[in-house]
Amino acid sequence: MALSLLPPANIPAYFDALKDKAMTDPSILLANRRPVESVFNYFEKTYIGVKNANGIRGAPTFQMETWSIYERIMAHHQIGNSTVEGFNSKLKNVPAHSSAQKVASILAENDRTYKTNHEFARSQNLRIDQAFRKSPQTATTENNRYLAVRNGAHGQTPFDHLKQLINHIHTPF
């Protein structure tokens, strides 16, 4: 997952470093070589692009630009699905034996709240995640992720840089 935090142009080199490290690690080679190799082959075919005999990568199933969140992080955009999580949380709080009318009422109230928030954000020329204050913990987490991604490897090997980026993947919802 740490690969998604990188600029798309850097992803293939980091992937190769990760694969090389995994495939030369004695603890992996003892019992798990085939399954690990299978995962890397699938990931390479689907998300990176397989190298041909000349070392040139073919097109992956999913272009790196579609799954890399590097640009979103650099633009300070929301990267999680906290809006959806919040909506699901409200639905989970509805008593199990509620009537369809009660559920419809809760859904309508949620829809009105979202539209009101959206209209307010638009009136301020902001996105919803900019218009409403984040908790200090969320703000700190997002800022630390931004700094780690922006600062890059700073002399680290690609493998060590990926290990450092792993600390910044989880987002509190």
Each residue of 86-137: pLDDT tens digit? 667 777 777 778 788 888 888 888 888 888 988 998 898 887 777 777 788 8
Amino acid (1-letter code) at residue 122: R
List, in order, residues 6 or more apart from 57 with CB less than 8 Å away: 12, 48, 49, 50, 51
DSSP H or E segment with residue 129: helix 128-131
**Torsion region of 152: left, alpha or beta (phi above 0 gives left; psi -120 to 50 gives alpha):** left
Each residue of 128-169: pLDDT tens digit? 777 777 788 888 888 888 888 888 888 888 888 888 888 777
Each residue of 43-90: pLDDT tens digit? 999 999 999 999 999 999 999 999 999 998 888 877 766 666 666 777
Instruction: Kindly compute the dihedral angle of the four CA atoms of residues 10, 15, 20, 25, in this order, to the nearest 10 degrees.
Output: 120
List, in order, residues 6 or more apart from 48 with CB less than 8 Å away: 11, 12, 15, 57, 60, 64
Each residue of 94-107: pLDDT tens digit? 777 878 888 888 88
**Considering the entire predicted model, what is its pTM?**
0.68
φ, ψ (nearest 5 deg) of residue 126: -130, 160
